[in-house]
Every structure is written in C-alpha cells, then in structure tokens.
Structure 1
C-alpha cells in the first residue's frame, strides 16, 4: 500500500486520487511519519461499508440467537408478529 506525506499529497492531489481510484489500492497519508488518513476509491469504500453493515447484522442475529438460547425463549412466527403489530 503506497504511502506519502501530506505535503507531497497536497502538491500531487490529482495523482493521489487517480492512484487510489485506478489501482483500487488505498494511498496512506502520513504526518511526521505516522499514518493519519487514507485516500480510497469511492466504490471500494461503499463496498467496505456495506460489508461492515452486513457483518454487524450477522453478529446481532447471532447475539439474539444466543440470548434466546440462554433465556429459553422461542422464536416468534411472522404471522404471530404481524398479528401482534396489528398488521394481519
């Protein structure tokens, strides 16, 4: 993964963006030798955010299943849920 200082990136912004966009490889920006930010292709970022949301949903579902198993609760059918919410 390429890395460059903020000063260099400032002077070559169009090149930095093109490198991230075309190469689909983030460009890490540094300040005093430490990575402080990254330039990443917008589509790549959207895919990462969607994947993170999917993973959060999977973890929440697993947690709910574990909680139900511990408490001894059973699942509610869709028909029962709709009836309870007045949607039947």
Structure 2
C-alpha cells in the first residue's frame, strides 16, 4: 500500500502504457487491482453481456415451463408471512 502511494503515477502509467495490471495488497492480502480504463470498460461490457445472456436464458426456461405450479406475488408474500409467524 505504501509503495503504491509513493509510486501511484508510475502504477497508472504502467497500467495505461504497458497494459500491465498492478495488484495492491494490504498485510499480504490482495485488495485491489489497477488496470487501464479501456480494459476495465471492456471487461464491464463483457460482464454485462454475460449477465444479459444469463437472464434471457432464465426467462426462456421459465417461459418454456409454463405457469403450472407457479404462484402469484401476493400468494408468495402470504406464504412468506405465514412462515415468519
């Protein structure tokens, strides 16, 4: 941590120029990573695409299962209240 503070500009330059990530540790435990902003944005885009694909798959599966055995939101709330009582 102290190393990063004293060399922050170098860490950022290395991430941007060399595309080299720097893992920051505190008391020997990995806490954070400094990466180039474009790499961060690329990774976020991939994560969002994967999440959207997964949600679409879940929706397709639910749709293919139909409504047999499903309960309304109100019925689910009543069941949860009954379990808490």
Over the residues paired in the alignment, what is the CA RMSD in angstroms? 1.2
Structure with more helix by fraction? 2
Higher relative contact order (CA 8 A, sep 6+): 1
Deviating runs (4+, > 4 A) in structure 1? none
Looking at structure 2, the residues matched to 48 and 39 of structure 1 have their Cα atoms a distance apart, in angstroms, of 13
C-alpha distance in 2, partners of 1:55/1:18? 30
TM (norm. structure 2) is 0.73
Task: Give the paired residue count.
Answer: 67
Q: Which residue of 1 aligns with 2:62?
A: 67
Match of 1:24 among 8, 16, 19: 19
Q: What is the rounded CA distance, in whole Å, between the counterparts of 1:32 and 1:67 in structure 2?
A: 46
Q: Name structure 1 gaps, 5 residues minimum.
A: 1-5, 73-88
Displacement, 1:25? 2.6
Matched residue SS, 2:43: helix
CA distance in 2, matches of 1:62, 1:20: 36
Tell me how far apart the structure 2 counterparts of residues 25 and 67 of structure 1 sit (CA, whole Å): 43
